Structure 1
């Protein structure tokens, strides 16, 4: 990003509230939130519902992965790329009808910087920050310890949410934001309800109520859509069923990309998986295209490293390890496992993970690896695998944008410790825009060559709507299921 002033186009002004019968949208979803405060709970379920819809940030990510204005109408960056000055839109208000002012920004950022009860996923994004100051009621100055290309991008996600200071004590039960919707109700296991925020400061939504309805069985969600109970399927998790929605007079199919790298993750604290030859053998031993065809209906891009195609440093690394069982067996023999080895594969009960685990177990058996598959409810997976590190291998889609830097943190649940990789990530973050792209490409290739994981495929963005619904993005480039432009003509 060039130093100096960066002008951004501000949001347009509010529309009149809807009249007559309320406009209600029913949205089918799978990954239910595990809590309502995006700063204190892990998992993508919470920002999926609340980010940009209920909570807003200074800047946001658009459907092409670019930074756009939100609460900040513009910002400037000092010549040394360390001081950011944000000018807030003076019309911005919280749902409580109180102003979104500089003190609210300082309070929200300081809360993350202090870290009390805040997840590592969020506090790590604020690590570059040295200080946050209110210069006046509409101007905030953030000073970084060192230049960081990633920091502003991260501020478009959960770490950058600006909370209503008056609601901080009850965020677990009552989200307090400035978005076009306000939180209304959460019935665990059933739905999260949002309602139109009549105090919204920007372009008002044309929808009065939204229900995110949760389905443990993706086929039941498809049936609900076909029977008219849903207006949107937010993430088609049975791509084999796509033909059911092939009638263009009834349905619109939106197909794009996501940031969701489906990763066969290795616990590098396991001595067997700390061996490069073992990791390479596993990569050679899995036919990823056949897995995509079997598990995800042939929908899903092969990537080869922790980079999505909407990232500026994307390169096709999917052929780093091609399917070669003979080579896999030879590598296991060189590693001293000619007689085989046994590994535990603990996966969450998300739609893609158990079928992928069974496919992988069958393929790795052919090269001499016995895979013991265990399926866990997602909350238990978060506790035992993600937090406690009790696993050998796991499968999960990492949907956070530009999250390759997680591999630079040896305390992250993979426990991947490669100082050379971490150094590349650091230099890329602190360098110029061109240096960032060049160094991030090097980092992605290093990760692939080192078989730090097995990148199975990139989740496609498969959204189904009725013909009456419009305004959804083609690509999912953030953690949000963004409803800010959604409309229906019924």
Structure 2
């Protein structure tokens, strides 16, 4: 029996299956939903965080994308375990846990005195409900992270037992992400606008694609958040940076135009963190010419990843060697699988009889994607492809056409969910249409292997994926964050799917509510 208690971290050998897009469906709805009558528990004006990745719903049980978990996880919803900044697993709503000798039974001991924002008590019954609800009701692809679970059962009010079908190195780690969000049965009626969690904030108002207002919760079980926070969505980085310089926002999260950094005013601080965001050049493995691995390999050799990094990020992004893993994953090896070699690309196209192959690159209407598409057009044309560029409005059209219907030849998007190799490449029905029995075998072996063998087997799976050129990662995106002087407590490194706001504070919270409201009106018009 292995025992884990508060203050003792479990190693970060894990994976989290996840859907890899930046936003979700139902774009364009702009009605403001007043979700609560709660009054602010903060003595200061709210702090405002600007983002260009908009939440169009607050229900990630049915809607894919990273924007919803970013604003809700750790802020509104909490999990039994938390993922620390070094990737280790630490206590959350569970103070300790034991793992059986066969690694199939987990017994969690839960915190007492924890309540949901609607007043319900957090108990082992609600924890068991949350886990079983993912397995039985979720339609979001990230629910695959719960596939190892056989059953979750409440032993008493504060003791939860989870039985797995087979050992899983990745399951406990995934419980620190969105799939591990603890919910109450009495809070499921309006998840899209009024999520109910145990976290330090609750949603006060929500306008899809415009803003989410988070109010500090009274009677929160832990250390209270310092300020109310509004996450406000902008159509592009330029408008969000302009709002920061004009005093309308306090933080710009995820700057996608690093050239803007040269022009920011004094009094603005720049931080660069890490992300899980792999900019993935996807090739539909089931559609010609990309049903031939030699053609996919030719693409990998034809693309100059360094040039893409320089154009998009002034060299601030991380080259992962083409592999779909961030450097923070324990199976990252630093290998360069496909170095830029146009001659090798031409040779492979000739071997495949694919010289002059016509391909269409379907690009989401996101700044980084539109910018790098021009470079890809040039480099792929140079080696002999006949390239056509087309744009797909993001999120609704791209999600429906590319990810949903798989009606595309080539596309690109940043997959930002943590440890998502099993979802991207372990499911032959995923939009990549990558179907490799050997890769699936390696991923299954890795998940059920002894813990010490997990990174080695995951690395072998990555090697197989890259040998097949199932897709090509152009770069691992940096997280460039701008803050006004005096704002502190932000966490620029993204280890999981959460934008952690509980520690965000300011020596002088000067954000103007009136300015914020005016910004909302302007942003709504521009977004439409």
Equivalent residue number for residue 236 of structure 1: 255
1:4 paired residue among 2, 5, 24? 2
Deviations 1:23-72 (A, max 9, x none): 31111101111311121100111001111111111112122222122111
User: Unpaired runs of 5+ in structure 1?
Assistant: 11-16
Structure-2 separation of matches of 1:264 and 1:64 = 28
Answering whether residue 488 of structure 2 is matched by residue 470 of structure 1, we say: yes
| Alignment match, 2:326 | 308
Aligned to 2:71: 49
Residue 324 (structure 1) aligned to one of 341, 351, 354: 341
Q: 1 CA distance for matches of 2:45 and 2:444?
A: 48
CA distance in 1, matches of 2:5, 2:269: 35
Give the one of 222, 226, 237 matched to 2:241.
222
Measured in 1, the distance between the counterparts of 2:196 and 2:225 equals: 18
Counting matched residue pairs gives 475
Q: Which deviates the most, 30-39 or 131-140?
A: 30-39
SS of the aligned residue for 1:27 comes to: strand
* Deviation digits for residues 367-409 of structure 1 (CA, Å, limit 9, x no counterpart): 1112222222212111111111011111111111111112011
Distance 1:60 1:35 in 2: 24
Q: Do the aligned residues in 2 keep the contact of 1:344 with 1:392 (CA within 8 Å)?
A: yes
Q: Distance between the aligned counterparts of 1:50 and 1:197, measured in 2?
A: 14
Q: How far apart, CA to CA, are the structure 1 residues paired with 2:88 and 2:116?
A: 25
1:153/1:138 CA distance change after superposition, 3 Å: same
Q: Deviations over 1:220-255 (max 9, x none)?
A: 1111111211111111111122223474xx122221
Aligned partners of 1:20, 1:261: CA distance in 2, in Å? Answer: 37
3-state secondary structure, aligned to 1:462: strand
Picking from 245, 253, 259, the partner of 2:276 is 259
Q: Secondary structure at the residue paired with 2:478?
A: strand
**2:281–2:474 CA contact under 8 A, matched in 1:** yes
Alignment partner, residue 309 of structure 2 = 292
Matched, 1:347 2:366: no
Q: State yes or no: 1:177 paired with 2:197.
A: yes
Check the 8 A contact 2:491/2:499 in 1, yes or no.
no
Query: Is 1:373 equivalent to 2:371 in the alignment?
Result: no
Match of 2:56 among 34, 58, 83: 34
1:79-478 alignment runs, 5 A limit: 79-115=101-137, 118-207=138-227, 209-245=228-264, 247=266, 250-303=267-320, 304-317=322-335, 319-338=336-355, 340-377=356-393, 378-406=395-423, 407-478=425-496
Q: Provide, for residues 426-462 of structure 1, a one-character-per-residue CA deviation record: whole Å limited to 9, x for no partner.
A: 1111011221011111111221222111110001121
> What SS is found at the alignment partner of 1:427?
helix
Query: Take 1:19 and 1:182, find their aligned partners in 2: how far apart are those partners?
Result: 11
Residue aligning to 1:14 = none
Q: Which has the higher contact order (CA 8 A, sep 6+)?
A: 2
Query: Structure 1 CA distance, aligned partners of 2:341 and 2:275?
Result: 28
The Cα shift of 1:7 comes to 0.8
User: Shift in Å at residue 94 of structure 1?
Assistant: 0.7
SS at match of 2:189: helix
Using the size of structure 2 for normalisation, the TM-score is 0.87
1:264–1:454 CA contact under 8 A, matched in 2: yes
Residue 416 of structure 1 aligns to a residue whose secondary structure is coil
Following TM superposition, by how much is the alpha carbon of 1:19 offset from its aligned partner in structure 2, in angstroms? 7.8
User: Matched residues in 1 for 2:42 and 2:149: separation?
Assistant: 48
Q: Residue 419 of structure 2: SS of its match in structure 1? A: coil
Query: Aligned match of 1:77 in 88, 99, 119?
Result: 99
Provide closer, same or farther for how the CA distance between residues 19 and 260 of structure 1 changes in structure 2, counting only shifts above 3 A: closer
Tell me the residue number matched to 2:15. none
**Are the aligned partners of 1:238 and 1:297 in contact in 2 as well (CA < 8 Å)?**
no
Structure 1 consecutive aligned stretches of length 4 or more whose deviation exceeds 6 Å:
17-20
> Normalized against structure 1, the TM-score is what?
0.94
Instruction: Tell me, in whole angstroms, the C-alpha distance in 2 between the residues paired with 1:401 and 1:393.
Output: 23
Cα distance in structure 1, aligned partners of 2:176 and 2:374: 37
Structure 1 position 143, deviation (Å): 0.2
Kept after mapping to 2: 8 A contact 1:245/1:464: no
Q: SS of the counterpart of 2:61?
A: coil
Write the deviation string for residues 60-112 of structure 1: whole angstroms up to 9, x where unpaired: 21222221221111111001110011111002111122211011111112211
Decide whether the 8 Å contact of 1:81 with 1:147 is kept in 2. yes
